[in-house]
Amino acid sequence: MKTFLMRLVAVLLGIALLAVGIFIIVASADFIPILGTRLKIAAGEANLLILVAGGVNIIAALFLLLAFGFRTSRREAETILQYSELGEVRISIAAIENMVLRVTQKHDAVKESSRRVVKTTEGLVIYLKARVMPDLNLPSLASDLQQSIGDYVEKITGIKVAAVKVLVENIVSDIAVQKKSLK
C-alpha cells in the first residue's frame, strides 16, 4: 500500500510538472496567441532562460513518470540456491513460508498464524506468530511447533533451519471458536 501511494504521488507530481513545463514554454514562446500570456521580457537571454526552465520541468516530469510512476517491479522473488548433481535448484522464500503454513494448519491448537522466513548465514530463521486455543500448555505447544516446523522444512528443502521463533500473539476465545464452528 505504501508503494502504491508513493507511485501515485510520483505520477501526480510528474503530470503537474509536465503541465507547468509545457505552459511555461507555450507562454514564453507565444505559440498560442489567444492565451495572451506571452511573457514580455526585454532581454532575449532571459527569454531563453524561461525556455530552459520549462524544459527542465518537462525533463523532471518525465524522470518522475518513467522512473517511479510507470515502472513495473521486476524484482525476482527472493530464493535460496542449492546445488545438486544435475544443476542448481532455487526454492523461493514464499514456498518455504507456505511449508510453514502447512505445518501450522495441521496443529489443531493453532487457529490463525502468520509467518516470515529470513535467510541467514547460519541457515533459515523462521518467525511464526500464532493465535491458539485457550487452556493449552504454551511452552509445550511452542516447542512442538518449533520441532515440527524445523524438521519438516529441513526434510523437504534440505536447508538447515537455524531457528524457529514462535510468538503466541493471542488466545482465541471460546465464543469465537463456537461462532466459527457454527458457520
Helix (H) / strand (E) containing 167: strand 161-171
Three-state secondary-structure class, residue 92: strand
Domain ranges for the chain: 2-69, 90-182
Give SS3 for 125.
strand
Please provide the CATH number assigned to the domain covering 90-182. Answer: 3.30.70.1350
On average, the pLDDT of the chain sits at 81
55-59, 73-77, 128-132: which is most confident: 128-132
Q: Residue ranges of the alpha helices (H) in the chain?
A: 2-29, 44-63, 93-106, 138-157, 174-182
The vertex-106 CA angle with 103 and 109, nearest 5°, equals: 110
Question: In the numeric block, which cell numbers belong to residue 81?
Answer: 540456491
Its pTM surpasses 0.95 = no
For residue 115, the SS3 value is strand
Going by pLDDT thresholds of 50, 70 and 90, the confidence category of residue 38 is low
